[in-house]
Amino acid sequence: MMVTKKMYPMTGAQAIAEAMRQINPDVVAAYPITPQTPIIENFAKFVADGRVDTEYIRVESEHSAMSATVGAAAAGGRAMTATASAGLALMWEIVYVAASMRLPIIMPIANRALSGPINIHCDHSDTMGTRDSGWIQIYSETAQEAYENMFLALKLAENKNVQLPAMVCLDGFITSHGVENVEIYDDKTMKDFAGEYKPIDPLLDVDNPITYGPLQLQDYYFETKRQQVDAMKNAKKVFLEAGKELSKITGNDYGYFEKYMMDDAEAVIVVMNSTAGNVKSVVDEMRKDGKKVGLLKLRLFRPFPYEEVAEALHKIPVVGVFDRAESFGACPPLYGEIRNALFDSEKKPKMQSFVFGLGGRDIFSHQIENVFETLLEGETSGETKYIGCRGC
């Protein structure tokens, strides 16, 4: 496929806004919150300049933003919003409503810590808090991935066998505000990829009247939830199909995860989002010294690819799992899922849980290298270790 593309220096927020411009949704309703604000700020300029046909709705809160987006999607529009941190928390009730109504809303999230104390910097406590809400979750290492993941999320969410909302996650400030070179593919190609939206059972189809959000008690509620389970199972398969279609344009791979230097690795770190880039750099340097280390970067967190993760990791001698969120009174979220994935494996690695970067605290190359060194020595424990935390 012949595709025209140009490279521009831009932030992750600008890259997301470019994807939204090319998709040209019918409705966007959003409220500003750091560090998501520049996503919608840039998109609002496209609206003001007439570069999209989108109806942009300025609302008084994130709860209203999701409510308006749900209404637009139920009416039959291709609808989007964006948020972060406390904004996502304020949407909480309607986040679940959107998934329960099976509305294919796309929502980029600039990951940010949740209060308290008040903090505006990156960790994953916001989206990890919604991991059981019924939304698809795709994580992005770079601005380039965030841009491409928007199209992947769209194809996945709108598939007739899925019909679920999707979050595209990128690290607040680190990716949302950091400038890097991003390849933007030509408008026609990406508009054609997005395609014309064909809603299923819209409210405005007056010839086929339906209702959204009815009261369901013991009679049907259980069955509705069970249908969401099946939709998530379908999403796992459709994710790969959509990735193959997008790969024809970009030439990039869209597996559930990326394996980096894992073929002969004796120690592997599992991580999501921007920190994967830091780990890759450390892997490259340690490989020069003959140390067999590698990375597994998870892209799809919901639905979680248990079987595939187990296949990728079960022969690795020792694995360290990096979480940028805590789960109080339980295993950190990503670590818990990796343990679940490996539970039935006859041969499984030794594992160590690590929590890092809460509230935006930096993680440095020497800290990642130290982790690899301890893993190579086989040092693991049942307790979570905290990287860069005073007194930990």
* Gap between the Cα atoms of 153 and 155, Å rounded: 6
- Please answer whether residues 248 and 1 qualify as being in contact, where contact means their C-beta atoms are separated by less than 8 angstroms: yes
Distances (CA, A) of 309 to 166, 319, 374: 21, 12, 23
Task: Give the pLDDT confidence of 302-358 residue by residue, as tens digits.
Answer: 999 999 999 999 999 999 999 999 999 999 999 999 999 999 999 999 999 999 999
Q: d(Cα 26, Cα 53) in Å, to the nearest integer?
A: 7
Same domain? For 103 and 232 the reply is: yes
Tokens 């940010």: give the residue: 112
- The answer to whether 363 and 357 have CB atoms below 8 angstroms apart is yes
User: What sign results for the dihedral spanned by CA atoms 27, 40, 157, 120?
Assistant: negative
Residue numbers of the domain that contains 261: 257-387
Which pLDDT score, from 0 to 100, does residue 3 have?
87
Same domain, 134 and 202: yes
Note the pTM of the prediction, 2 decimals: 0.98
Domain co-membership, 73 together with 94? yes
User: Following CA atoms 237, 240, 243, 245 in sequence, which dihedral angle do they give, to the nearest 10 degrees?
Assistant: -80
Which portions of the chain are predicted below pLDDT 70? 1
pLDDT at 213: 87
For residue 294, being part of any structural domain is answered with: yes
- First CA to last CA across the chain, in angstroms? 53
Do 239 and 319 share a domain, yes or no? no
Domains contained in the chain, number? 2
- 378 within domain boundaries: yes
Residues 191 and 265 in one domain: no
Do both 140 and 268 map to the same domain? no
Q: Could you tell me if residue 392 is inside a domain?
A: no
Which burial class, exposed, middle or buried, applies to 223 when counting CB atoms under 10 A from its CB (0-12, 13-18, 19+)? Answer: exposed
User: Could you give the 3-state DSSP secondary structure of residue 374?
Assistant: helix
pLDDT of res. 1: 65
Tell me: cis bond preceding 320? Omega within 30 of 0 counts.
no
CATH assignment of the domain containing 243: 3.40.50.970
Q: What is the pLDDT of residues 166-215, one digit of tens each?
A: 999 999 999 999 999 999 999 999 999 999 999 999 999 999 999 998 89
| Residue at which a domain ends, from 194, 223, 250 | 250
H/E stretch holding 296 reads strand 293-298
What single letter denotes the amino acid at residue 104? P
Residue 231 amino acid letter:
A
Comparing C-alpha atoms, which of 389, 265, 266 is closest to residue 323? Answer: 389
Give the three-class secondary structure for 356. Answer: strand
Residue 220 is predicted with a pLDDT of 93
Domain with residue 295: its CATH number is 3.40.50.920
Cα 301-135-312 angle, rounded to 5 deg: 15
- 107 and 40: one domain? yes
| 234 and 308 assigned to the same domain | no
Q: Does residue 28 sit within a domain?
A: yes
The C-alpha angle 347, 350, 354, rounded to 5 degrees, equals 140
Among 198, 216, 250, where does a domain finish?
A: 250
One domain for residues 353 and 238 = no
Is 196 in the same domain as 298? no
234 and 313 part of one domain: no
Residue after which a domain boundary falls, among 235, 250, 265: 250
